[in-house]
Amino acid sequence: MPASLSVAVLSAMEAVSASQWDALVDADQPFLRHAFLHALEASGSVGPVTGWQPRHLTVWQGDQLVGAMPLYEKHHSYGEYVFDWGWADAFERAGGHYYPKALSAVPFTPVPGARALVAQGVDTQAVYTALAQGWQAQCQRQDLSSWHLLFADTSEVEAWQAQCPELISREGVQFQWRDRDFGDFDGFLAALTSKRRKMIKRERRLVAEQGLEVVRLVGEQITPADLAHFYSCYAITYQERGRPPYLTQDFFTRIYHAMPESLVLVQARLDGRPVAAALYFRGAQTLYGRYWGSEVMADCLHFEACYYQGIEFCLEQGLTLFDPGTQGEHKLLRGFAPHRVRSLHYLAHPGLANAVATFCREEGQQVAAYRDAAFEALPYK
């Protein structure tokens, strides 16, 4: 590590000021903001009780924060969306201890983007070297089996691979919508094949025919009552799966007060009463669809609230990218293209590392073939 840089491990986001941290965060990355990460911890959604022990890495040049990376000591693999349960099970059956492990990601948020934050005008390579020494030291001192970097953007993946060639790359696919100079929603529909254009028109019509009114509330237009109703809908989504929500109501209350300009709430109303809701986050150029829930069973309401309203909002606001959330081939038919996502993995045990590397190579070939086939299935003319 260059002599001028030092590394400090933070056990909570409150140990660093929001102004220092946010000076490193791109305007298109609301989930890396201090307010978002702090709300996770302060609300109890993230912490030792939930199996997410913060050990954030910070790089300092004197008293100036010049680099940072979220880091958590994990005691399970919930809330990550890059599934390594099979690796853990195999290692445990062989007599090893997979947990605890180290994880650099945004909890419960499978959104591609920066993970290593570097100040402008600072030697990027030096900061990466410092961060690498930081997570390696954490793995050794805390006896952690591994380090995992999830959903990092392409340039960061390449930088980490140059820094640490032993890292194992894992491929994935998400579906994203990009503006192709459509102009408006009708322009978007005009770019689709006749079959898919008719499908989307029919789905939007079905929502209206069921008596549902769909409205968008942006920033301070969202009231505390709207937020409370949204949370009850969000909780329903998890209750239907037989488990409690990852995020507490206090988390949403905190971000509502700390970063209202980033929030877009889509609300479905029946006879004037809200019955379903989807909460989005807005970056400088990107709209992120995150959370959804409904009190009613209504045909095509999920598509309307979580996809079409988002596309329409992007076109109205000049946003060029819409990330609607992870998984779901049904997005493909509605104009969301396959996008390559990658994660990197360090495993201390040589035998486990070799087995995982082989698995990831074979899986990667299948993912690449799937991604190519998905491109061919896009509904554009």
Q: Is the pLDDT score of 364 beyond 70?
A: yes
> What average pLDDT does the chain have?
96
pLDDT at 307: 97
pLDDT tens digits along 30-63: 999 999 999 999 999 999 999 999 999 999 999 9
Contact 345, 167 (CB under 8 A): yes
Q: Is the pLDDT score of 82 beyond 80?
A: yes
Nearest to 177 by CA among 294, 266, 285, 276: 285
The single residue listed with the structure tokens 């606001």 is 317
What distance in Å separates the CA atoms of residue 157 and residue 212, rounded to the nearest whole number?
44
pLDDT at 328: 77
Three-state secondary-structure class, residue 148: strand
What distance in Å separates the CA atoms of residue 378 and residue 381, rounded to the nearest whole number?
9
Question: What percentage of residues in the chain have a pLDDT greater than 90?
Answer: 96
pLDDT tens digits along 123-145: 999 999 999 999 999 999 999 99
Reported in sequence order, the residue ranges of 179-218 that DSSP labels E, i.e. its strands, are 212-218
Contact 127, 114 (CB under 8 A): no
pLDDT at 88: 98
The single residue listed with the structure tokens 């006896």 is 143
- Average pLDDT (291-305) is 97
Cis omega (within 30 of 0) for bond into 224:
no
pLDDT at 326: 80
Q: Is the pLDDT score of 1 beyond 60?
A: no
pLDDT tens digits along 101-123: 999 999 999 999 999 999 999 99
| Residues 214-218: contacts with CB under 8 Å, at least 24 apart | 214/266, 214/267, 214/268, 214/269, 214/304, 214/305, 214/309, 215/266, 215/267, 215/269, 216/264, 216/265, 216/266, 216/267, 216/309, 216/313, 217/264, 217/265, 217/266, 217/267, 218/263, 218/264, 218/265
pLDDT at 241: 85
What distance in Å separates the CA atoms of residue 381 and residue 330, rounded to the nearest whole number?
18
Q: Is the pLDDT score of 3 beyond 90?
A: no
> What are 10's strand-pairing partners?
56
- Average pLDDT (175-192) is 98
The overall pTM is greater than 0.85: yes
pLDDT at 70: 98
Rounded to the nearest 5 degrees, what angle is found at the Cα of 321, between the Cα atoms of 318 and 326?
Answer: 145
What distance in Å separates the CA atoms of residue 78 and residue 74, rounded to the nearest whole number?
9
pLDDT tens digits along 309-356: 999 999 999 999 999 988 778 999 999 999 999 999 999 999 999 999
What the chain holds in terms of domains, given with CATH numbers, is 6-174+339-376 (3.40.630.30), 180-319 (3.40.630.30)
Q: Is the pLDDT score of 274 beyond 90?
A: yes
